[in-house]
Amino acid sequence: MHKNCHDDLIAQQKAFRERRSRLQTSTEQKQAEAIIPWQLPDITEIINKPAKIIGRVPKNVRSSLASLAAWVLKEVASKNDTASWTKWLLLTRLLLWDPGRGGRKHVNSVAKSILNRIKLWKEDNIQKLWFDFSEHSTEIIKANELKRTKPPSQAEANATHAKAIKLAALGELSKAFKALSPSQGIIYDNNTIQQLQNKHPYEPPPSEILQSIETNDQTLRLPSIPPHDDITVEELIAYTKKLGRTSAGGVDLFTAQHLIDLVPFEFESSTLSNWAKVLSLIVNGSVCESAAPIAFGARLIGIAKPDGSPRPIAIGSLLRRSAGAILMKRHSNHIKHIVGPNQFGINVSAGIELFVHGFKAILQYVKPFDDAVAVKVDFKNAFNACKRSKLIELVRKQIPALFGYVKGCYSSHVPIFLPNQSSIQSCSGVHQGDPLSGALFAIILADTLKTALAGLENIYHAAYHDDLTLASTSSASIILAMTSLEALKQSHGIEINYSKTEWISNLSAPPPNQFVGITHNTTFDTTLVSIPVGRTAHIKDEMDIRQKEWDSQFDRIIALRHAQTMLLLLRNSLQLAK
């Protein structure tokens, strides 16, 4: 045989063997898939995949999406298992990820893409949707890595203006104003992650107090838990009307705007009706344990403080937030009764003004007394450090209607997910962004003050959320009150931050040495909730500083070069009607 013919024969035989091998492999894969069907991804894997989600649902897609969302929510409400909750977690990601192009043609193509994705979902081809989304997620990771290596450009500076203009057009004027001075971002390295974890200190799960409560229930020592009225569609519609259109979504990425877009299709889809059924699971504390990261977990971002340390901002699920808001509205009067008349941050009209003017009046009253003291108390990491075991105990005793919700939210540790695909555990404190979190903290603070101030009748105290003021004509009473507060740190989790606490008194009544780091203010000039209090000269100096800040901000408004937005922001900042 000729050499060339021999080489051709060898090549053909090799190609035939490779083709046969590929066919055999493909057959084996199909047989394996037939034996082991594709499984839904793990909850953590889904959450950790970055995504760019479209802000608004295209108009010609809303009806179809509303029907599918209602279908998924109905499955969550009826089955309440890992698979149903995982599908809800996947819904927004798989259907509403943005291809990333612009223009009118892009809007139409996105609508067609979403309709095709909805069709695939209804055909139970979630596997194909997941693979497509995974490719999109990979592209985002590559783009983010490239962005980190590029220096800041003028285009990025212009993006700040574009964001402010967009927010103003949506009616979010306060957010538009803040967008002109964006907070500095942070790098999520090991040091930053550790600082964020330190903001969420460890507390063992409150299993002992829950077991004790169950025992007491059997002996009828606690008030009975009243049945909850079903959450109504009307309550949800009222809630959506108060939602900010730019309010972000939690780990499920389902935003306020997405919900608002689907509300008009309630009659044909029953989206809100099924949403309400899922809320019943949350309100009653019946969410399956494996779904806790979805219902009660959160996305966590850090914003740099002036000293460079991260300020944690957590964004929880809209499902939980809507449940909390409705419960807060239903039980606001009862909560107000529990926290008492000295808490001006909960269900008090013009509460911040009353809080400040009350402190101004008490300063003027105590100043002539040589032994008088007023204290402006600062707490360390107050909302994140208060004890969940104490919270559960107090809620069960004082407002049992909220026990199911609080038990579901705080009976176990839940993960909080960072943008760099890592997570930390939320073990203590109340959840950020929960409409009930301020009220729940106020319940703990009220019990702390009730215990610490018992028997001290000549003490003035008032609070605005976690800002606390104390005053008395007797320094001994203040020392006893502060010492009692400190003693409750272990049981209630509320710890005084002496480095930011002010002891306001005459020279004849200095703070004792035991309060290490506390500031002694003998001028009676101070600032309370960012409002200057004291002599006219002090107030003028503080307002001059703010005026310089406002001048800088107004310059940023003028630099927008967008007349309508400039006018809207100026009107809003000056509180002008016309």
Q: How many beta carbons lie within 10 A of that of residue 218, not counting itself?
A: 8
Name the stretches of the chain with pLDDT < 70.
1-36, 101-107, 147-158, 217-220, 574-578
Tokens 């919270």 sit on residue = 391
Residue 167's φ and ψ, nearest 5 degrees, are -65, -40
Q: Mean pLDDT score of the chain, rounded to an integer?
A: 89
CA 285 – CA 79 distance, rounded (Å)? 15
First to last CA, the chain: 98
How does DSSP assign 213-256, residue by residue? HHHHHHTT-SPPPPPPPPPPHHHHHHHHHHS-TTPPP-TT---H
Q: What is the pLDDT of residue 22?
A: 58
CA 395 – CA 411 distance, rounded (Å)? 13
Task: Return the structure tokens found at 358.
Answer: 């009350």
Q: What is the pLDDT of residue 256?
A: 94
Q: What is the pLDDT of residue 131?
A: 96
Which three-class secondary structure state does DSSP give residue 368? Answer: coil
DSSP state of 379: B
Sign of the dihedral defined by the CA atoms of residues 264, 265, 267, 272, in that order: negative
C-alpha dist (Å) from residue 102 to 58, 110, 191? 14, 10, 38
CA 448 – CA 386 distance, rounded (Å)? 11
Q: What is the pLDDT of residue 107?
A: 61
Q: What is the pLDDT of residue 507?
A: 93
Q: How many beta carbons lie within 10 A of that of residue 546, not counting itself?
A: 11
Buried b (16+ CB within 10 A) or exposed e, 99-137: eeeeeeeebeebbebbbebbebbeeeebeebbeebeebb
Q: What is the pLDDT of residue 24?
A: 62
Q: What is the pLDDT of residue 20?
A: 62
Task: Return the structure tokens found at 435.
Answer: 């409409």
Residue-wise pLDDT tens digits, 450-499: 999 998 988 999 999 999 999 999 999 999 999 999 999 999 999 999 99
Residues 296/281, Cβ–Cβ less than 8 Å: no
Closest CA to 534 of 328, 299, 319, 376: 376
